[in-house]
């Protein structure tokens, strides 16, 4: 069960990184540094460094505010196209017990694919649709919602990995349904 728990936690954390790279990284770093709930193996234990935690906090604040400003949020999404999948890869590989039971390359690729997929849906489908339908005014609410989801999913990934599996399945099903419904809606010329 430990391997399954670690694997579910890895999927939840990397999916969370697809929405916001710095929230799950910061949560893992803080939990690993100040509790015994997570033990990071080398080289991932570098996340617990005060300098790394400080850098994650600073980058997270910059990303938080950049994502709330119209136009800057789209530039931020372009830049985050590289950061979020990388963060997902690190989180997947660094997750508890997974790196010792899954080859590190497989773990990195899995995290990259999970975070990259979530980010791709967000940046290529959800955000442009919100911008087009609200003239950009809805982006702040959507961004805050993404940050909140990232925070909750990250915490649950550490505390209750099985719940995260259900949440990921439900969110994925909802996004697929929403995209399908959007395609089925007749366009007004």
What pLDDT, on a 0 to 100 scale, did the predictor assign at position 189? 59
Is the CB of residue 81 less than 8 Å from the CB of residue 100?
no
Reported confidence tier of residue 166, pLDDT bands at 50, 70, 90: confident
Reported confidence tier of residue 1, pLDDT bands at 50, 70, 90: very low
- In the predicted structure, residue 151 carries a pLDDT above the cut 90: yes
HEC sequence for the chain: CHHHHHHHHHHHHHHHHHHCCHHHHHHHHHHHHHCCCCCCCCCHHHHHCHHHHHHHHHHHHHHHHHCCCCCHHHHHHHHHHHHHHHHHHHHHHHCCCHHHHCCHHHHHHHHHHHHHHHHHHHHHHHHHHHHHHHCCCCHHHHHHHHHHHHHHHHHHHHHCHHHHHHHHHHHHHHHHHHHHHHHHCCCCC
- In the predicted structure, residue 100 carries a pLDDT above the cut 60: no
Is the CB of residue 180 less than 8 Å from the CB of residue 97?
no
Mean pLDDT score of the chain: 84
Reported confidence tier of residue 2, pLDDT bands at 50, 70, 90: low
Q: Is 58 exposed, middle or buried (0-12, 13-18, 19+ CB in 10 A)?
A: exposed
Reported confidence tier of residue 101, pLDDT bands at 50, 70, 90: low
Q: Is 93 exposed, middle or buried (0-12, 13-18, 19+ CB in 10 A)?
A: buried
Is the CB of residue 6 less than 8 Å from the CB of residue 101?
yes
What mean pLDDT is predicted for residues 102-124?
A: 83
- In the predicted structure, residue 26 carries a pLDDT above the cut 80: yes
Reported confidence tier of residue 171, pLDDT bands at 50, 70, 90: confident
Structure tokens at 86: 């990388």
- In the predicted structure, residue 67 carries a pLDDT above the cut 80: yes
What pLDDT, on a 0 to 100 scale, did the predictor assign at position 133? 85
Residues 40-60: tens digit of each pLDDT: 888 888 999 999 999 999 999
> Measured between alpha carbons, how far is 102 from 54 in angstroms, rounded to an integer?
30
What mean pLDDT is predicted for residues 11-28?
A: 92
What mean pLDDT is predicted for residues 80-107?
A: 78
What pLDDT, on a 0 to 100 scale, did the predictor assign at position 62? 93
Residues 132-143: tens digit of each pLDDT: 888 878 888 888
């Amino acid at each position: 069960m430990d391997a399954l728990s670690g694997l579910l936690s890895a999927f939840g954390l990397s999916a969370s990184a697809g929405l916001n790279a710095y929230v799950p990284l910061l949560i893992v770093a803080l939990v690993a540094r100040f509790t015994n709930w997570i033990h990071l193996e080398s080289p991932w234990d570098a996340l617990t460094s005060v300098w790394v935690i400080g850098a994650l906090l600073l980058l997270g604040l910059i990303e938080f505010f950049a994502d709330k400003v119209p136009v800057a949020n789209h530039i931020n999404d372009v830049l985050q196209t590289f950061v979020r999948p990388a963060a997902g890869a690190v989180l997947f590989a660094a997750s508890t017990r997974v790196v010792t039971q899954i080859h590190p390359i497989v773990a990195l690729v899995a995290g990259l694919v999970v975070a990259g997929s979530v980010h791709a849906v967000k940046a290529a489908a959800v955000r442009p649709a919100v911008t087009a339908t609200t003239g950009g005014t809805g982006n702040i609410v959507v961004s805050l919602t993404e940050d909140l989801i990232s925070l909750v999913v990250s915490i649950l990934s550490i505390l209750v990995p099985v719940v995260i599996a259900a949440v990921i399945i439900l969110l994925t099903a909802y996004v697929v349904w929403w995209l399908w419904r959007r395609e089925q809606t007749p366009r007004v010329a």
